[in-house]
Structure 1
């Protein structure tokens, strides 16, 4: 199976690129760790965009498969944004509290305190912390 390469995707405003991305995501079967990383790189490269809804297809695709979680945590550490933080929150909502030895709520706390994250992303992490704390 060929490795997924999304380096060509450089504009979340380009309808043809979005259509191609959506088709690739829908057709993905038996993804590798490298494929998970490639999909998550879209969120990292375009943290302030949703691809007119196409990025939600990436979320659903990743959540459909097992094993994406370590790549997701690495993605958050590299470039926290709305989509990868939302995926962490969805994991918590589903009862997953940790990946390996890392508590997901602590990852939110790290992002909320990070001076490398934008104010908006820090606020998003704080909102998720408050939301998860209120559920307990």
Structure 2
């Protein structure tokens, strides 16, 4: 599967109230491992998260687990997504990275993205508050 096929197939999975989409996402990413590190794949996943920002996509869910195995390759796309439209899952992913031992530049990029998210006009009140809480949590490490 190439990144364009990945994106097309991902976009066919529509979240529903019965949460069957989470199983569908898990099965889908299980067969798509070879495109995990491609920037287009990360962008497609973050755009999907933005589009379905109010839907349950798992906790943290198959898309998050899929991407995290490719760290740090997706970091630029994560930062771009947060700056474009911060959502619960992307903020959560930034926090998960900030909880790890990472280089100073990556830490700075992610904390700057969280600062943008904390007052982003397209973020919900909950998402802005989440960004503020994550910034406070990591304030000491930003030194």
TM class by shorter-chain length? 0.7 to 0.9
Note the aligned Cα RMSD (angstroms).
2.3
Distance in 2, matches of 1:54 and 1:8, equals 21
Counterpart-to-counterpart distance in 1, 2:11 and 2:117:
26
TM-score by length of 2: 0.79
Aligned counterparts of 2:50 and 2:61: Cα–Cα separation in 1: 14
Q: Shift of the alpha carbon at 1:72?
A: 1.0
Structure 1 unaligned spans of 5+: none
Q: Are 1:69 and 2:66 matched, yes or no?
A: no
Say whether residues 1:56 and 2:56 are aligned partners: no
Secondary structure at the aligned position of 2:101 is classed as: coil
Cα distance change, pair 57–118 in 1 and its aligned pair in 2 (3 A) = same
- Indicate conservation of the 8 Å contact 1:12/1:46, yes or no: no
SS at match of 1:98: helix
Alignment of 1:117 with 2:126, yes or no, is no
Matches within 5 A, 1:103-114: 103-114=109-120
Matched, 1:87 2:93: yes
The total of aligned residue pairs comes to 134
2:87–2:127 Cα contact (<8 Å) kept: yes
Deviation of residue 13 (structure 1)?
Answer: 2.6
What's the offset of the Cα at 1:30?
2.3
Q: For 1:53-112, what per-residue CA distance to the aligned partner results, in whole angstroms no more than 9, with x for missing partners?
A: 27611111101014111111111122211110011111111123434x962111111111
> 1:20 Cα shift?
2.3
Q: Cα offset for 1:124?
A: 0.5
- Cα pair distance change 1:39/1:116, threshold 3 Å: closer
- Tell whether 2:105 aligns with 1:98: yes
The normalised TM-score by structure 1 is 0.83
Shift of 1:113: 2.0
CA displacement at 1:14 relative to structure 2: 5.0
